[in-house]
Structure 1
Amino acid sequence: MSYEELLTQTALADEQVIVMTAENRALVRNLPGILGKRFIDTGITEQTMIGAAAGLALRGRTPIVHALAAFLTMRAFEFVRTDLGIAGLPAKLSGFIPGLLSDANGPTHQAIEDVSIMRGIPNMTVFAPADEDDLVKMLPDVWQSPDPAYIRINTRKTTYNHATFEMGKAEVICTGIDVTILTYGLLFEQALIAVDMLKAEGLSVGLVNMRSLKPVDEEAILTVAASSQLLVTLEDHFVTGGLYTIVAEVLLKHQTTAKVLPMALNEKWFRPALLPDVLQHEGFTGKQIAETILGYQTAHQQPEILKPQFAE
């Protein structure tokens, strides 16, 4: 099932659902003719759309709003914070082309601060599906929640069949002793490739899909921190405020520590290009991820401690 099919099915079953967009119809092209007055296009006015969504939510509606992730989270930030966050209203924000998915767009259209921005708003929940299967499995619960939500929309089709979604829970794909990769969104595809390559090198490798970023699965983070020698946080987001920061916050909160290698965009926007080229240029292909992890392990390998030989 596609995003649009799920949204159509949901809206037809519940007349309180209102679909809104700020002149960004890529995800909802067929809905105007189906929903009629329950489809609202405000034009390129993200702030106005959020204000209107708040008004509808106050009247018992469930507005599901659409815009480019960069503009939804930054241009309309104050409106999201004040109208939705402070009031705790159940508007659902569908951020289109987040992270590296905006591939050919320049810095003004790149949403690589969005997780940090949205999770900092009280009452706001944040989700980042790995692909379309993950997306459609999480959205019914997210849309039914009484909380405002920001979803990093990802409609890429993969062959992976994800587990049932549970709010606030990570999806543990596999466990490993040597290294565990924690990731979300688009880079899950590349993480799967990296895991296979690392296993071929003889490493015991784990992979966790951090699909729910707020609320976050603290237990999953603490478990892999205790059982794996190295954690790798992999994300198409600035290193500040994203998954690396979330992991650090959880470890500090529980007065524990771990060896963590962050793989993220380090204080720079990515170079616009077609997605395969962006992944290659920024070092996020599965092969490059595996090579980075192997290089880190080699550089930080502890020398073998020789046991003293005692005469009998």
Structure 2
Amino acid sequence: MTYEELLTQTALENEKVIVMTAENRALIRNLPNLLGKRFIDTGITEQTLIGAAAGLALRGRTPVVHALASFLTMRAFEFFRTDAGIANLPVKLSGFIPGFLSDANGPTHQAIEDISLMRGIPNVTVFAPADEDDLVKMLPTIWNSAQPAYTRINTRQTNFVHQPFEMGKAEVVSIGTDVTILTYGLLFEQALVAVDILKKEGLSTGLINMRSLKPVDEQAILETAALSDLVVTLEDHFVTGGLYSIVAEVLLKHAKTARVMPMALKDKWFKPALLPQVLQHEGFTGKQIAENILGYKTSYTQSQISLPEFSE
């Protein structure tokens, strides 16, 4: 099932669902004719879009709101914070082309601080599916929730079949004692490649899809930190405020510590290009991820080796 098929089915079964967009119809082209007045396009006016969605939510509707992720989370930030977050209204944001999926666009269109912004708003829940299979398994639960939500929309096709979704629970793909990669969204694909390479190098390697970022699976993070020698946070987001920050917050909250290696964008936007070139240039291909992890493990292992004592 595709995103559009799921949304169509949901809206036809529940007349309270209103589909809204700020002139961003790429994945919902067939819905205007099917939904009539329950499809609303405000034009390129994201702030108006959010305000209208909040008004509809106050009247018992569930607005599913579409725009580019960068504009939903930044241009309309105050409106979402004030109108939906403070009021705790079930406005459901569908952010298109988040992270590296905005591959050919420059910094103005790159949503790489969206997780940080959205999870900082009280009441707002935050989700990042790994691919379209993950997306359609997650959205029914997200849309049925009474809370406001932000979802990074990811309709990429992969061969991976995901586990059923439970809000606040991570998807444990494999368990590792040497290295465990925590990731979400698009980079799950590359993490699968990296895990395969690391296993061939003889490392016990785990992989966890952190699909629900708020609420987050604290138990999965704590168990990983206790079991795995190295925890890697992998994300197409700034290092500040994303998964690396989430892991640090959870560990500190529970007075735990771990060796954590962040792989994220460090105080810079990514170079626009086609997606394969973006991943290669920024160092986020599966091969590069594995190489960086191997290099990191080698460096800290060597630093732990004590020099022999020589007696005279």
Normalising by structure 1, what TM-score?
A: 0.97
Task: Work out the CA distance in 2 between the residues paired with 1:267 and 1:241.
Answer: 12
Task: After superposition, give the CA deviation of every residue in 1:178-212 in whole Å (9 maximum; x if it has no partner).
Answer: 00000000000000000000000000000000000
Aligned 1:29-44 pairs, distance under 5 A: 29-44=29-44
Secondary structure of residue in 2 paired with 1:301: helix
1:130-209 matched pairs, under 5 angstroms: 130-209=130-209
Please give the residue correspondences for 1:199-278 in structure 2 after superposition, counting only pairs within 5 Å: 199-278=199-278
Q: 2:108 & 2:49 partners in 1: Cα distance?
A: 20
- Give the letter for the 1:296 counterpart: Y
Q: Deviations over 1:119-173 (max 9, x none)?
A: 0000000000000000000000000000000000000000000000000000000
Q: How far did residue 64 of structure 1 move?
A: 0.2
Q: Residue deviations 1:93-116, cap 9 Å, x none?
A: 000000000000000000000000
Aligned position for 2:293: 293
- How big is the shift at 1:27? 1.4
Q: Take 1:179 and 1:305, find their aligned partners in 2: how far apart are those partners?
A: 23
Partner of 2:104: 104
Q: Secondary structure at the match of 1:65?
A: strand
Cα deviation for residue 3 of structure 1 reads: 0.1
User: How much has 1:305 moved relative to structure 2?
Assistant: 6.5
Letter in 2 for 1:83: D
> How many angstroms apart in 2 are the aligned matches of 1:177 and 1:64?
41
| Equivalent in the alignment of 1:11 | 11
Deviation at 1:307, TM superposition (A): 11
Report the residue type matching 2:150 in the other structure.
Y
SS of 2:301's partner is coil
What are the superposed Cα offsets for residues 10-53 of structure 1, whole Å, 9 maximum, x if unpaired? Answer: 00000000000000001100000000000000000000000000
CA distance in structure 2 between the aligned counterparts of 1:9 and 1:76, rounded to whole angstroms: 28
| Counterpart Cα distance in 2 of 1:249 and 1:218 | 10
Correspondence 1:115-126 to 2 at 5 A: 115-126=115-126
Q: Which amino acid aligns with 1:141?
A: T
Cα distance in 2 for residues equivalent to 1:205 and 1:107: 34
Partner of 1:71: 71
CA drift of 1:304 comes to 5.0
Task: Write the distance in 2 (CA, Å) between the matches of 1:142 and 1:27.
Answer: 18
Looking at structure 1, the residues matched to 251 and 61 of structure 2 have their Cα atoms a distance apart, in angstroms, of 39
Corresponding residue SS for 1:300:
helix
**Structure 1 unaligned regions, length at least 5:** none
